[in-house]
Each structure stands twice: as C-alpha cells, then as structure tokens.
Amino acid sequence: MTGTHKKLATIQDPLSHRVLVVDNDPKLIAEYVHCLGDNFETDDPTSTLTDLEKVWLRDESDEGGVASFDVRSCDQGEAAVEAVAAATRAGRPFAIVFLDRRLPPGIDGLDAASRIREIDPNVNLVIVSDSLGDKPDKIAREIPPADKIFFFEKPFMGVECRQLAAALCGKWHADRALRMANEALEHRVQERTAALHKLAYYDPVTRLPNQFLLLDELDATIDASEDNDGDTAVILLDIDRFSFMNETMGYDSGTELLRSIGNRLSRTFVEDGDHPGATVGRFGSDEFAVVIPGVASEDDTRRLAETVKNTVEAPFLIHGRDLFLKCSVGVAWHPVHGRTARAVFRCAEAALHRSMRDLESPITYYHREMRYRARHRFALEAELRMALDGGRIRAWYQPQQSVTTGELVGVEALARWERQDGSVIPPSEFIPISEEMGMADAIFESILKSVCEDIVSWREHIEKQFPVSVNLSAQQLRGQGVARLVRGTLEEAGIDQRLLRLELTETELLEDLSIAEPALRELSAYGVSIHIDDFGTGYSSLSYLAQLPVQALKIDRSFISKVADSDSTRRVVQAIVALGKALNLGVVAEGVESDRQFAHVRRLGCDAVQGYFIAKPMPAGQLLRWCQGHEATESFNCGTNVINIDSGAS
C-alpha cells in the first residue's frame, strides 16, 4: 500500500468522526450524547437528514444510513484544551468541538477556543450560546480561520445538532483530504525541484558542483571573507588531449576517467579535512576547479596548485589500463584578482589558457598583463573572422631548391593574414586561435583555394609548373571529409592533382594513425603526395613510415640549425637521410639559413633545401618575379625539368 493510500485509509477510519462536547451543564451534555448517539430517533423523521448523512459520511454510517459519532465530553475550558492536546498527540484529532460560551469557573469558551485553535488549526469550533449577540464576525477574526468557526444557539433541537455535526464532519474529512492531496503535491514539487536543482547545479557525470554552483559557492565565500583570514584560491585545470583519449578509449572509459579525477580531487581537498570550506567541481568538459578559502600566502597557493597537478598526473587505472595524464593549470585568487566570483574565475581561465598554449609552463598564475592580452586576443578573434570572410587569409610561398642542380623542385604555401593596414600576421599567431575558434577547417579551405588560384595564374608566365605543399593538420584528418574537399577544389580549378602536396607534422600524424591512415590513403590514391613535416620530433615507432603512403620527409629545422656545429646533430641528420633513402623517400632540409648549413646538408645527401638561405616566404606575385629573375642563372632554371623529390631522386 502506497503512502497516499495509507492516508486515505486513515481518512475513512470511523474514529475520525470524533466530537468533543464542552459544557458545565450535565443535562445538556446528555442531550448532545443522545442526539449524536447511534440510537437517536427523531419524533418526525425525514429523509433529508438521512440523505445528508449519506452524502457526507458514506462508509462511516451504519447499515440504516445513520451517522456514527464518537462523542467525548468535559465540563471546563482547561479540560477541553487538554483533551484536544491529548487527542492531537495520539493522532486521533477531534473533527468538532462544541464549546459553551460561558464555562464558570475557569476560562470561558472563547479563551478555550483560542487555545484549542493554536493546538489544532484544523478542528471545527462551534461556539454554543443562548444569545448570538457576541458579534460573530469579530470572534471569527480573533480566532481564525473564519471557515472553521461556527455559532450554534441553544436551546436546540437534537436533529439540528445532528445535522450540524454530520455536515461539519463531512467538511472536516473533505478539508483533510484536500490537505493531504496538497501535501502530496507539495512533496512531489519539492522532489522535482530538488531534482531540477541537482540537474542545474551538479554535473551529471561526476556528481560534482558544476560551473553555476561553483560561482555561487565562491560568491558566498567572498561574502563571508571579512570574517575569515587569508585569500580564496581558485585553481582551474584542463586535461591535455582528453578528447583524443576519449575517442581512442571510448565514451565509457572517458566517463570513468572523469569520475576518477573528480573523486581523487575530492578526497585530496574536501574529505581529508585539511582544507575546510574547499569545493571541487567540474568547470567544463575536461576542466575541473578547486576553490580553497583561507589560504595564508602566495607560497601556500603555489603549493596547492602543485598538489592539484600532481594529484591528477598520478597514474589512473581505467578498465584495466594504466593512464598517465598531463594537465594545464591556471590560478587566481580573491581579493587580489577580483572582488566577485566571475571576475576571479575569468582571471583563472585566462591563466589556464596561457598554460594550455605554453607547454613549458604547465602552471600559470594570473597577472594583470593577461587581461590586456585577453582583450587583444578577443579583438583579434573578431578581426580574424572578418579577414577570413574578406579573403585576407592568403598563401605566401617559400621555394624548395635541389641541392645538386639548383632547380626549383617545389614551394611550400604558408598562411599569412594580410591586414588592411598593410601589416602581415604570421600563422604562429592566428592558427592556434583559429583552432580554438573552430575555424581551422575554413582557413585550410581558404588557403587551398588561394593556392589553386595562384597555380592557374602562374600558367601564363611559367612553362613548367612546380608542385605546391599545403600544411594539413590532424584536425582536418579527423573531419573525415578532407579527401572530398581536396578533390572538389582541385577539379573545380582544373588543377592536376600531382601539383599538390600535403604536409603533416610527425606529432600530429601520430596522434591517431587509425584516423589518419584511411584519409591519407584516399588522398594518395587520388594522386596527391604526402610529406612528413618536422621529421625527427615524433615520439613513436617509425613503423608508420612503412604503412602510410608517404613520399618525402622534411627534417625539422631544430636539427638543421645545429648541423654545422654539432657532430651528434650531423649524425642524426645522416641517419634520417639514410632512412629516407632506404624507404625510397625524398628528404628535404628545412630552415637552411647559411652557406655552411647548405654545404653540410648537401654533403649528407639531402635532396632539397628550404629556408632563408634560398628565399624568404613571399606573396604569389613576388614569387613569380623571383622565378623570372633567376631563369637565366646557372644555379637556377625554372624552364628545365623538375626534380621529383617524391621519388628520392637527386
């Protein structure tokens, strides 16, 4: 039986028709008992009384349709108050109390009624008097509610008393049923409100406070900060490459990892008791926050930030696999960095984003300069969108030259943002922003179209065309549509696919070979060459070179910059060249800036070079003039056959 059904069963209990009669006249009490008794018969019975009782007291009437009352009596006001109190405590309240207006000695009926009302606000009070000159309206105002106080004039007829009792008992039951229904509704509303509150203020995955509750908690801490010593530290952390891990391990493992991180942080900062008032919450998809009040000094804040980082970077065992995480941390504190929760969190976010961009500083503490840089970045983001829409993200080109013949063997397209004021912004400044804004795909498409337009324009001036390399990121590969985009763009422009090379850095390529391989094979089958950029900086097995359709390696500039001065670096370059030759891959040395570096990479067997020693990146028109200015030279001839570095030939 449910709780609601149990309550309804109580309503139907015949003992609920309990009546208390209070009068100091024994004869009158006897009259009450008689007219409310089971054997009461009127001298002139009518169907009206029986019908009324059937309506109000269905199951509580006897077989003959006559109501059944449980009548109790007392002769003094104090006794009446005590009787009502006892009945209420026992859970057997009276439905009606008949109170004589005058009850000498002791308190009178009105005083008794007032005290009874305080004990039981639901009982129906009937003030009995031989005169109604007691101003009923005034009494009803003094002993509210008005719908539960009534007046009965004596002497009265038994049938009138019984009719009144039947009606008021029915009313008492109806009121009680309505109250219980309202209580049940209110309980459901409270449960639903609690559920909505939990949904609105708690993260469903980790069951930790979410961003909204974290802000509220910090506001409350700030409000109480005048009574507390020390600052309130806000430590934000972001799990590096969590989306990649989530895709690799699966949703269930990613969810379990988030819960494990939240549980570990909670045990460290909330459950250990060493940080009273600390709050741990999930601030974003892969971001957590730790709010700690009462931090005595900046040194303590730094120790706490280190503890947060070490806590998360300790190994996790998830579904039988050991996981080693890296995280970026941003720290700000009240009141130094803000007087409101939002202000402090904004500062902590700014510090976190700095850490995420700077791998050498995994923990960043907010300082005022970041606010200026954040505003500058915000303005730059808005300008970048307009620049992309206005076609101001263009390709500049840096030549690649054969080390043996001096011939042009290709150019690399490098993105440049040409601002309206004539300044040029390099990709190192706006490509990371574009990736965070979700614009990387749009910029890749814009550069690809720019390259196609330039190739078409060069046809009129250069007899032999040269291939162009375009940088491709892992983000484009994860989009699954890169091959279709490349094919559609080249065919629309009428460009031979052999004139396009796509370059991926070794680190990006190795993020997920299972995603990269199908897309690269589709591109290679179409006729587009695949080159590995920044080769030598990766961290995995070289077996991928045998399984992927790669045509060339570009040795990272960090090796080339030292090749003239370091024997060990020269041996590394020599090994990379040997590896390329063994796999029949072309080898390009990038970042060549001096004649000594050029001489070394030529002697070590590189096929081609790229760098400031040959030429700096330049716009399409300038590249054309550069080529034309070298057509007659012995070291460079654009009209001769192009050396195919894809095949490894020199």
Question: Both 386 and 316 in a single domain?
Answer: no
- Based on the fold, state whether residues 136 and 38 are members of the same structural domain: yes
Residues 174 and 288 in one domain: no
pLDDT at res. 8: 37
Cis before residue 276, ω within 30 degrees of 0?
A: no
Q: Do residue 290 and residue 427 come from a single domain? A: no
To the question of pTM greater than 0.85 for the whole model, the response is: no
pLDDT > 70: percent of the chain: 86
Tell me whether residue 577 is in a domain. yes
Tokens matching residue 21: 């009669």
Q: Taking Cα atoms as reference points, which of 420, 484, 403 lies closest to residue 448?
A: 484
User: C-alpha angle with apex 147: 141 to 150, nearest 5 degrees?
Assistant: 80
What would the pLDDT profile of 625-641 be if each residue is shown by its tens digit? 888 775 545 444 433 33
pLDDT at 2: 40
503 and 595 part of one domain: yes
Binning pLDDT at 50, 70 and 90, where does residue 132 land?
Answer: low
Average pLDDT, the chain: 84
C-alpha closest to that of 73 among 38, 112, 25, 120: 25
Residue of higher predicted confidence among 382 and 578: 578
Considering the domain architecture, whether residues 392 and 360 belong to the same structural domain is answered as no
**Are 320 and 388 part of one and the same domain?**
no
The rounded distance, in Å, linking the Cα atoms of 542 and 534 is 14
- Whether residue 483 is predicted with pLDDT greater than 70 in this model: the reply is yes
> Would residue 215 count as lying in a domain?
yes
Identify the three-state secondary structure at position 538: coil
Q: What is the CATH number of the domain that holds 498?
A: 3.20.20.450
Domain assignment of residue 340, yes or no: yes
Last residue in a domain, options 312, 337, 367: 367
CATH number of the domain bearing residue 71: 3.40.50.2300
Provide the pLDDT confidence category of residue 644 given band limits of 50, 70 and 90.
Answer: very low
Q: What is the domain range of residue 259?
A: 211-367
Q: Which of 112-121, 339-348, 380-389, 538-547 has the highest mean pLDDT?
A: 112-121
Instruction: Identify whether residues 8 and 141 lie together within a single domain.
Output: yes
Same domain? 223 vs 159: no
Q: Which of 165, 180, 195 is the last residue before a domain boundary?
A: 180
- Rounded average pLDDT over 83-87: 96
Assigned domain for 318 exists: yes
The answer on 390 and 359 residing in a single domain is: no
pLDDT, residue 530, reads 92
Residue 478 lies inside a defined structural domain of this protein: yes
With bands split at pLDDT 50, 70 and 90, how would you rate the model's confidence at 284? confident
β-strand pairing of 316-318 with 287-295: unpaired
Q: Are residues 67 and 117 in the same domain?
A: yes
d(CA 568, CA 484): 43
- Please tell me the predicted confidence (pLDDT) of residue 642: 36
Asked whether residue 102 is assigned to any structural domain, the reply reads yes
Domain count, the chain: 3
Q: Residue 202: beta bridge partners? A: 209
pLDDT of residue 293: 92
| Residue 198 in domain | no
Q: What size, in residues, is the chain?
A: 650
Whether 171 and 304 share a structural domain: no
Nearest alpha-carbon partner for 631 in 461, 468, 469, 455: 461
Nearest CA to 404 out of 186, 95, 643, 575 is that of: 643
The residues, ordered by sequence, that sit 6+ positions from 182 with a Cβ below 8 Å of its Cβ are none
Of 315, 340, 367, the domain-final residue:
367
- Residue 294 sits in a domain of what CATH number? 3.30.70.270
CA-based radius of gyration for the chain: 44
Q: Are strands 287-295 and 424-425 parallel, antiparallel or unpaired?
A: unpaired
Report pLDDT digits (tens) over 486-499. 999 999 999 999 99
Q: Does residue 189 belong to any structural domain of this protein?
A: no
Coil vs helix vs strand at 392: coil
Taking the CA of residue 649 as centre, how many other CA atoms within 13 Å lie in the half-sphere pointing to its CB? 7
What stretch of H or E contains 165?
Answer: helix 158-201
Per-residue pLDDT, 495: 92
Task: Tell me how far apart the alpha carbons of residues 139 and 110 are, in angstroms, rounded to a whole number.
Answer: 8
What's the pLDDT tens digit per position in 352-398?
988 887 767 789 998 866 666 666 667 777 888 888 888 888 999 99
